[in-house]
Amino acid sequence: MPVETIDRSATDMKAEAAQVSADIDAFFDGLLTPVQDGRERLFAAMRHAALGGGKRLRPLLTVAASRLFAIDRDRALRVGGAIEAIHVYSLIHDDLPCMDDAELRRGKPTVHTVFGEADAVLAGDSLHALAFEILADPATHEDPWVRSDLVLELARAAGTSGMAGGQMMDLAAEGQALDLPAITRLQQLKTGALIEYAVEAACIMAKLPADARTPYRGYARNVGLAFQIADDLIDHNGDTAAAGKPTGRDAEAGKATFVSLLGEDRARQQAQMLIEQAIEHLADHGDEADLLRGIAQYAVARNH
């Protein structure tokens, strides 16, 4: 790509990322209206986790992929909101003392440190259910086949063959020296499946048959893996303030990461190569894919 195209995509990407963040906040703000009947703490805990933080990478991917198929942006945002609800629930549960025992997330104290463990478990469970409530609502899409498919694929991305399965592998790997194929597989489940779903959701809304989704899933798989390598680099080099969470924890826990296995330089090269491959998958598209290209570039250029 010529330099001015990359610059334009980067500017567009930052503007759209900021807009999606604001829109997702407004979406959760509207859904999570506090009540005064014994469930106050539940709503407060859900709002603490879901509002005002995070990169909102997943909804941004859904909005960006929706541009390829001229899908209504509001519709993409609702689906992106459901995906973010799943992501936030997983962060709440992963941060629990019995899991990663984290005190800081997105620059704020974690839910259980503020509200206690019981509220954190329930806030996560409630966001989990909320995601499916959003997707199955006729307001999300008028075609019930689309709604049903969105639910099916999200449930797969969240369950044993996705996020929860990956987190289990991660816990089981403590104190073990995983190799590169094992780390890659772990990442594909733990974080890759939901990132892939964020792009595939736009394909589902566009009613693309499964085999026509291949390049977009390829794009998402490459970006997801590059994003994880970048995360490992940030954990390896970054500072807590920029990351919004403690860094250096993987090394402390003796966990193998892409950086510990490849070394810093090769990890960086690998991420760059994945991004080039990701963009290659979009070769049939013109300007309408610029936002996806910008996100891919950002995935490795960021420092938080």
The contact set with its own copies (CB under 8 A) reads 37-43, 46, 93, 96, 98-99, 116-119, 121-122, 124-126, 128-130, 132-133, 135-138, 143-145, 147-149, 151-152, 154-156, 158-160, 162, 164-165, 167-169, 171-173, 182, 185-186
Whole-Å CA distances, 167 to 94, 158, 175, 186: 8, 10, 15, 8
Q: Which tokens is 298 given?
A: 């950002």
Q: Which residue lies nearer to its own copies by CB, 117 or 276?
A: 117
Q: Which residue lies nearer to its own copies by CB, 182 or 242?
A: 182
CB of 184 to its own copies, least distance (A): 13
> Tokens 């463990």 label which residue?
117
Q: Which tokens is 78 given?
A: 């609702």
CB of 80 to its own copies, least distance (A): 17
Q: Which long-range contacts (CB under 8 A, 24 or more apart) does 90-97 make?
A: 90/124, 90/158, 90/163, 90/167, 90/194, 91/49, 92/49, 92/120, 92/123, 92/124, 92/127, 93/120, 93/121, 93/124, 94/167, 95/120, 96/120, 96/121
Please count the other Cβ atoms lying within 10 Å of the Cβ belonging to residue 80.
30
CB of 110 to its own copies, least distance (A): 14
Closest CA to 291 of 80, 27, 66: 66
Q: Which residue lies nearer to its own copies by CB, 104 or 182?
A: 182
CB 10 within 8 Å of CB 302: no
CB of 297 to its own copies, least distance (A): 32
Q: Which residue lies nearer to its own copies by CB, 138 or 286?
A: 138
In sequence order, the 6+-apart residues with CB closer than 8 A to the CB of 178 are 186, 256
Q: Which residue lies nearer to its own copies by CB, 15 or 152?
A: 152
CB of 102 to its own copies, least distance (A): 13
CB 167 within 8 Å of CB 100: no
> Strand locations in the chain, DSSP E?
104-105, 108-109
CB of 153 to its own copies, least distance (A): 8
Q: Which residue lies nearer to its own copies by CB, 93 or 213?
A: 93
CB of 140 to its own copies, least distance (A): 10
Q: Which residue lies nearer to its own copies by CB, 94 or 290?
A: 94
Greatest CA separation found in the chain?
58
CB of 11 to its own copies, least distance (A): 38
Q: Which residue lies nearer to its own copies by CB, 98 or 251?
A: 98
